[in-house]
Amino acid sequence: MSDSTLTGQAAEIRDEFLDLDLSSRLELLLEFSNELPALPERLADHPELLERVAECQAPVFIVVEVDDGLVTMFAQAPPEAPTTRGFASILAQTLNGLTVDEALALPDDYPQMLGLSKAVSPLRLNGMSGMLQRAKRQLRARVGR
């Protein structure tokens, strides 16, 4: 799947970023960081159910669930790491509500499609890529692929 075949929320978010200049893209990323929902109580009380994303400098934890064939990603990232929280929020908003096949079809280079490579360090983009790879791996494990 190339970036021209992105659909739904993934395409909307990408286009939202690409329609902005560089400094506005950073502001949008910070807006996304404020939209990362708190973990539901059932996960907040059981941090062992979440996986640490080692590729991120900040302590980020994710878990992906499948219910009735639809994906939901939960993430926890500290408020003092707004870039990382923003990336986690973007991925959660992109993946939530997709079928497993749609989520697995999200291009691995989706983080690079957002046009942030000149605004954030490659290490931070690698963190978002790491989140996406771990989410896909968890999905495959959940559905036996």
Residue 94's CATH number: 3.90.1010.10
Residue 29 has pLDDT above 70, yes or no: yes
Q: How many domains does the chain have?
A: 1
Asked whether residue 101 is domain-assigned, the answer is yes
Q: Can you tell me the distance from the alpha carbon of 5 to that of 20, in angstroms, rounded to the nearest whole number?
A: 21
| pLDDT at residue 118, as a whole number | 86
Asked whether residue 102 is domain-assigned, the answer is yes
Rg for the chain, CA atoms, rounded: 14
Asked whether residue 116 is domain-assigned, the answer is yes
Averaged pLDDT of the chain: 92
Residue 69, domain extent? 3-37+51-143
Asked whether residue 44 is domain-assigned, the answer is no
Asked whether residue 42 is domain-assigned, the answer is no
pLDDT by residue (tens digit) across 42-74?
A: 999 898 999 999 998 899 999 999 999 999 999
- What average pLDDT does this structure show over 115-142? 92
Residue 1 has pLDDT above 60, yes or no: no
pLDDT by residue (tens digit) across 72-104?
A: 999 999 999 999 999 999 999 999 999 999 999
With vertex at residue 65, the alpha carbon angle to CA 60 and CA 70, rounded to the nearest 5 degrees, is 130
Asked whether residue 43 is domain-assigned, the answer is no
Q: Say if residue 7 is exposed, middle or buried (CB neighbours under 10 Å; 0-12, 13-18, 19+).
A: exposed
Do residues 73 and 145 make contact, with C-beta atoms less than 8 angstroms apart? Answer: no
Question: Which of 23 and 3 is assigned the larger pLDDT?
Answer: 23
Asked whether residue 45 is domain-assigned, the answer is no
Asked whether residue 46 is domain-assigned, the answer is no
- pLDDT-based confidence at 4, cuts 50/70/90? low
